[in-house]
Chains A and B, each alone.
Chain A
């Protein structure tokens, strides 16, 4: 199996994990007080902002031991896009409104996701 095939498969599996909420241990509370779910391992590995936020110095957990990650200044839609990027590296710009794209850029800057901006 070539490594590009492997990457393809890995991305698909990560996407599935995100969509199915398998073993999620992070609850993200977005601007609309909606809740998104994600995996702390992926967030830590992919973004230094989350790495700090989920570190033992700063972590917040609910009674079930899930991490609580509040991000009131980012909308659910934008956050979803960011999560998709973190899990799969893919952002599908064509189907997005200009407004959402702009918001995403601002959020990416705050979180230090320089590659997403590019």
Chain B
């Protein structure tokens, strides 16, 4: 260059300081110019090799800092120009009025569009600038510990555009973004790509002090705040205007929308935060209101079995802490309420019909029991269905439902009896019209109710009574069904619970064998054959619920007494040392009655037979008084009344009572009804069997149960003490309760009494040092 001839003249170029500086300035001018061309999108005229070499030379000659700062300046300058010429003119009409003047947010959308272009231009340019300054990045930026040029570009964009000190770009940007989201929440269609571009931009920029994204520092909190406010207002509006199902649909929709929004154009980190806000404002704050909504809340949904709505509520409310608890307790309360209503109809029925007493109500009494169980089963079915279809079989709900059932079932003190009666009803009539599977499924369901019973020992007592009647009166339709039921009970309560029941079955089987043997014995023997067919069932007294220790009073006809004697001889001959007592109150007899119209075969109870036989000796029209019958037969009064009622006041009137009426009273006169007619040849005279117990019987059962409990409690205490030898009072009580609670809930006072009784009988003693400790005495 020095060899070039300078044109002479007055005006000369300024003296160059030195050649290295000149070289630098020259190189830098070209580079700065090139960057400007890049900004003008004129890069195609530029040579990569030249520009790269320029930058390379500048860095090589220790001018890296000058280059770096120069680049910063050029880019800043450019961005300032962009702010003035492109961004500021695109500002939407300002402030709060914008949404009114611009209902669709078009101004805002346009602003975002401009920003999107500006941002895209910037990043494109920065990529090219980075290319030519690759050597600077690699050699200078590293050693000088400054950001790489692309990151420098991001910082400059952040400070010059997004957080410009000169123009309110940031305000406008945030306002427009929030406004666009609000519009979308109000079902306007917005251009999501523009919103997304701005959000992505904020996500790419980093806040210098927090090292977090500008999205997080500038945008997210404002977004969450406005969302909170928005949904607070919306929540209040919605509960006022919509019913529960509609409300939940709206909330569902909102949750879905917000999730979609995040997925489409916000940061994933915002998802849990915005979800929390919607859940808090739309669910948590209105939990109770929605549950308790009149005509549409949780209870109406249950009442009308709105499974979809219930399912929605379950899912929705499960999102917040208290949601399921509130639902659970509301449903449980409802179950208790329904249960209480079922219990009340039963008691009101029994008291109403208890008024007209005696005859008919025994039947309705059983009906009440069956209806009670059926209603409870229906209720159980209903809530099983709810549990299944709407509550995803949630265990926690199941537990709380069970508690509610247990509560009201045990509120009805007759529930053990009712459940046993219900089973009785099914095992007796069940198989008529129902398949075995159907009966089995009904019984399975009944077992679920049985589980809820606290006093299982009371149930056992009733079950035994009902089973005894079924077996002895031959009312049990299927042996398989009976055994199936006992199998189920065994699964529930164990072997001990059902041994006696199984013993009853055994007695029945052995008796039928015995009868076969007895017939053979009679055939072979030289004895005079009885004039009637005697069928005897031998019951082991400990298995059966009746008091079998003594024969009830009754004057049997001589023929029968003789036959009984024959059997007794036969039986005791085979089993020496046993004692037989005759239970005439449980027998039946087939007799033939001759009436004017025709003869009928009558199937009657033993007592009825005794009564009817008395009329054999009487002339037509000759009557017997109540007192005569009582005196001659010696049948206990209650049984006598019941049997007379069956003969004179029920469907088939074999006897005519004078005066007429449903009740048997002293002084009544009875006549054999010669005019009796009936379409059937064979007639079964139903003994009016007591089904639901009368108050007196109930008391008696209760006493028996209490007595049995005393024994069981003592047995448990002895069992435990034998094992532990020494035990503290409270621990002993706890252990006894633990052992007995599968059968009944013993109360501590009862246990204490039993302990004292055992001390008295010298099974236990109080420890000498500590009165609260017991010792076992072998």
Residue in A closest to B48 when the chains form the complex, CB atoms:
A58
A55 within 8 A of B: yes
Q: A52-B48, A70-B47 are in contact. Are A57 and B53 (CB under 8 A)?
A: no
Interface 0/1 of B46-89, CB less than 8 Å to A:
11110011001000000000000000000000000000000000
Asked if A112 and B47 make an inter-chain contact with CB atoms under 8 angstroms apart, the answer reads no
Chain B residues 381 to 429 lying within 8 A of chain A, measured CB to CB, are none
Asked if B135 and A112 make an inter-chain contact with CB atoms under 8 angstroms apart, the answer reads yes
Query: Smallest Cβ distance from A25 to chain B, in angstroms?
Result: 17
Query: Smallest Cβ distance from B34 to chain A, in angstroms?
Result: 11
Asked if A57 and B134 make an inter-chain contact with CB atoms under 8 angstroms apart, the answer reads no
Q: A57-B43, A57-B128 are in contact. Are A52 and B53 (CB under 8 A)?
A: no
B131 within 8 A of A: yes
Residue in B closest to A112 when the chains form the complex, CB atoms:
B138
A34 within 8 A of B: no
Query: Smallest Cβ distance from B139 to chain A, in angstroms?
Result: 8
A23 within 8 A of B: no
Q: A52-B131, A55-B131, A57-B128 are in contact. Are A73 and B52 (CB under 8 A)?
A: no
Query: Smallest Cβ distance from A80 to chain B, in angstroms?
Result: 18
A41 within 8 A of B: no
Interface 0/1 of B115-155, CB less than 8 Å to A:
00000000000011001001100100000000000000000
- Cβ contacts under 8 Å, B131 to chain A: 52, 55, 57-58
A110 within 8 A of B: yes
Give complex CA distance A108, B14 in Å: 37
Give complex CA distance A112, B128 in Å: 17
Give complex CA distance A50, B194 in Å: 36
Q: Which of A48, A55, A70 contacts B49 (CB 8 A)?
A: A70
Query: Smallest Cβ distance from A72 to chain B, in angstroms?
Result: 8
Chain A residues 23 to 69 lying within 8 A of chain B, measured CB to CB, are 48-49, 52-53, 55, 57-58, 60, 69
- Cβ contacts under 8 Å, A57 to chain B: 43, 48, 127-128, 131
Q: A52-B48, A57-B128 are in contact. Are A73 and B53 (CB under 8 A)?
A: yes
A16 within 8 A of B: no
- Cβ contacts under 8 Å, A70 to chain B: 47, 49
Q: Which of B43, B53, B128 contacts A110 (CB 8 A)?
A: B53
- Cβ contacts under 8 Å, A52 to chain B: 48, 52, 131, 134
Query: Smallest Cβ distance from A51 to chain B, in angstroms?
Result: 9
Give complex CA distance A112, B43 in Å: 23
- Cβ contacts under 8 Å, B48 to chain A: 52-53, 57-58
Q: A110-B135, A112-B134 are in contact. Are A49 and B52 (CB under 8 A)?
A: yes
Query: Smallest Cβ distance from A103 to chain B, in angstroms?
Result: 14
Instruction: Select the residue from A48, A57, A60, A112 with max chain B CB neighbours within 10 A.
Output: A57
Give complex CA distance A11, B134 in Å: 29
- Cβ contacts under 8 Å, A60 to chain B: 47
Query: Smallest Cβ distance from A105 to chain B, in angstroms?
Result: 13
Give complex CA distance A73, B43 in Å: 23
Query: Smallest Cβ distance from A67 to chain B, in angstroms?
Result: 11
- Cβ contacts under 8 Å, A69 to chain B: 49
- Cβ contacts under 8 Å, B128 to chain A: 57-58
Give complex CA distance A112, B47 in Å: 18
Residue in A closest to B56 when the chains form the complex, CB atoms:
A110
Asked if A48 and B56 make an inter-chain contact with CB atoms under 8 angstroms apart, the answer reads no
- Cβ contacts under 8 Å, B49 to chain A: 53, 69-71
Give complex CA distance A73, B46 in Å: 18
Chain A residues 76 to 118 lying within 8 A of chain B, measured CB to CB, are 110, 112
Asked if A49 and B134 make an inter-chain contact with CB atoms under 8 angstroms apart, the answer reads yes
Give complex CA distance A58, B34 in Å: 13
- Cβ contacts under 8 Å, A73 to chain B: 53
Query: Smallest Cβ distance from B738 to chain A, in angstroms?
Result: 72
- Cβ contacts under 8 Å, B56 to chain A: 110
- Cβ contacts under 8 Å, B138 to chain A: 112
- Cβ contacts under 8 Å, A58 to chain B: 43, 46, 48, 128, 131
Give complex CA distance A70, B46 in Å: 13
Chain B residues 12 to 66 lying within 8 A of chain A, measured CB to CB, are 43, 46-49, 52-53, 56
Give complex CA distance A53, B56 in Å: 14
Question: Which 8 A/B pairs are nearest by Cβ-Cβ distance?
Answer: A58-B48, A52-B131, A53-B48, A110-B56, A70-B49, A57-B128, A112-B138, A71-B49
A-B contact pairs, 27 of them (CB 8 A): A49-B134, A52-B48, A52-B131, A52-B134, A53-B48, A53-B49, A55-B131, A57-B43, A57-B48, A57-B127, A57-B128, A57-B131, A58-B46, A58-B48, A58-B128, A58-B131, A60-B47, A69-B49, A70-B47, A70-B49, A71-B49, A73-B53, A110-B53, A110-B135, A112-B134, A112-B135, A112-B138
Residues of chain A touching chain B, judged by Cβ–Cβ distance below 8 Å, are 48-49, 52-53, 55, 57-58, 60, 69-71, 73, 110, 112
A52-B131, A53-B48, A112-B135 known; 5 new pairs, CB 8 Å cut-off, are A49-B52, A53-B52, A55-B131, A58-B43, A110-B135
